[in-house]
Structure 1
Amino acid sequence: MVYHPKEIPEDINVTPVHPLVNFAYLLGTVVIVSGLVYVVLGAIATQLAIRISPETEMKIGQQLISSMSDIDSTSYLEQQEYLEDLADSLQTQNASNALPATIHIQKEEQANAAVIPGGHIIVTTALLEEAESENELAFVLAHELGHHVARDSLKRLGRSLVFLTVFSVLGLGVDNADLVIFTGSLTDLHYSRQQETAADIYALSTVVGFYGHGGGSLDFFERIQAKDQHLGGKLSSYFSTHPLTAERIELLHEVAAEKGWQMTGELTDYQK
């Protein structure tokens, strides 16, 4: 028998599927797997945040606050003591096992406030300047306390905590600089809508319990919102991290009506 080799087709090594289709398939697989990993890490992070001890939380908070710039509480000692007294008084309205709040003043031209693990509440000098009553400041502080009590800041930094915990188990040290890289911008924390709404309601409940009414507590937000609308809807720094929109303000008034909370009353002066 004589062997007759077959002619090799020119397209034998060419896939019948277009290369771009294969690329899209691989890219989609990577995106889906990455999304699943992100979700799983988030779930683990939430459970880790819930179970972390107060002592560990305090250590994390100290590391974070020591790495922040423009913290100048010593130059605003009177304001700091005033805000800490106010925060302590507000905390007594909603009993919890949360760590006591520590106020830090940040020299900043944008009105903003944030809370980080360990009960460290950062208030900017611009916010102190723009506030027109203690009631406005009380709502801002109570809002941050709401995040603190719910441990939202720990949950927000949770994925970083997962990596930090793994490094700790492996015996790998992580210094302050590395911690900041993991967590990103500390005063640019973005919470979920559910977390923000819960913090809003917590704040209003706390303010009403403290003053006997919610009058003036939302004036700061309504005033800034009106200013933003006048400027063409360009959101302020506070709204960029705490998107307290008109809908959310309306929701708070609806909650107050349902709870029977009085939303008018005498305002308490705030000495700047």
Structure 2
Amino acid sequence: MKLLPVLFVSALALTGCAATESPTGRNQILLFSSQEIDQMGASSFEQIKKQEKVSQDANLNRYVDCVANRITSVLPTSNLPWDVVVFESPQVNAFALPGGHIGVYTGLLKVAENEDQLATVIGHEVAHVLANHSNEQVSRSQMTGVGMQLADVALGAGGVSNKDLYMAALGLGTQVGFILPYGREQESEADVMGVELMARAGFDPSQSMVLWQNMAKQGGGQSPELLSTHPSHDHRIDDLSNMQAQVVPLYKASQAQLKQACRIDK
């Protein structure tokens, strides 16, 4: 463990440290460049696609693509191509990773009963990427020594190249936005940003509250995986209710320009 201070300083020198603000004005410390975080996201997504069964249902894929594409089309960097994949799994879950990657599990579609409710979840997950939450979480892990302890173990095992060691320190793999859970402040921030995204994309923001009510009912007393570190259902619904006056006008304005509705044939 004597190597930890040296490794930590080396990591800071390699990555740099940026104090910045999130889109809602919250202070953030980001140790990694957008290029590094995008690389982590791409690596994570490739691993997940190897581990999970990708859905071949063309109808289902068109539906999820439609919702996701409408959400990403209103992003400030909408020119970024987003890779959208549907996974065959009973998990009530979805995620978005840096670099433009979205995964939706078929189990979620049993709880998100319409396009607006699905847009609630996708908007929320994309908001995590927009707000640099993965960078923030990996940076926090780095600063508390979790990532560097992994690097120290790798070094002690022997036969590890400098590149492999550095990648271990970065926390590559599904730790990015997947194993490392977001904090509640980040979840609340993603709620606020996500409901605005869905409204701008022409999805009914009032359905966001219905979606989380459905989530609260899912599994009885056991929350879905998607809610493991999220605020309480009542707290979340109250926040979304307070947002309605702000986002409903955005939704109504977007309706005039909406050219495509997302429907799934059942």
Aligned position for 2:196: 205
Alignment of 1:225-236 (within 5 A): 225-227=216-218, 231=220, 233-236=221-224
Of 138, 141, 150, the residue aligned with 2:122 is: 141
Partner secondary structure for residue 248 of structure 2: coil
Q: How far did residue 83 of structure 1 move?
A: 2.2
Alignment of 1:3-18 (within 5 A): none
Alignment of 1:158-197 (within 5 A): 158=139, 159=141, 172-174=162-164, 184=175, 187-197=178-188
Q: Do residues 66 (structure 1) and 49 (structure 2) align?
A: no
Q: How far did residue 151 of structure 1 move?
A: 1.7
Counterparts of 2:98 and 2:142, CA distance in 1: 13
CA contact (8 A) 2:117 2:210 kept: yes
Return closer, same or farther for 1:183/1:246 CA change in 2, 3 Å cut-off.
Answer: same
Counterparts of 1:144 and 1:270, CA distance in 2: 21
Aligned position for 2:63: 82
Residue segments in structure 2 that go unaligned for 5+ positions in a row:
19-28, 155-159, 256-260
Q: Do residues 110 (structure 1) and 98 (structure 2) align?
A: no
Partner secondary structure for residue 211 of structure 1: coil
Q: Which 10-residue stretch deviates more, 88-97 or 115-124? A: 88-97
Q: How far did residue 181 of structure 1 move?
A: 7.3
CA contact (8 A) 2:40 2:176 kept: no
Larger Rg: 1
Counterparts of 1:145 and 1:57, CA distance in 2: 15
Q: How far did residue 103 of structure 1 move?
A: 1.5
**Alignment TM-score, normalising by the size of structure 2:** 0.67
CA contact (8 A) 1:188 1:241 kept: no
Aligned position for 1:48: 31
CA contact (8 A) 2:196 2:247 kept: no
Q: Which 10-residue stretch deviates more, 149-158 or 241-250? A: 241-250
- Residue type of the partner of 2:248? W
Partner secondary structure for residue 174 of structure 1: helix
Counterparts of 2:109 and 2:203, CA distance in 1: 23
Q: Do residues 250 (structure 1) and 238 (structure 2) align?
A: yes
Percent of residue pairs identical: 23
Give the total of aligned pairs: 226
Return closer, same or farther for 1:111/1:119 CA change in 2, 3 Å cut-off.
Answer: same
Q: How far did residue 112 of structure 1 move?
A: 0.7
Give CA-to-partner distance per residue, 1:210-234, whole Å, 9 cap, x none: 2264232332220121345xx3x32
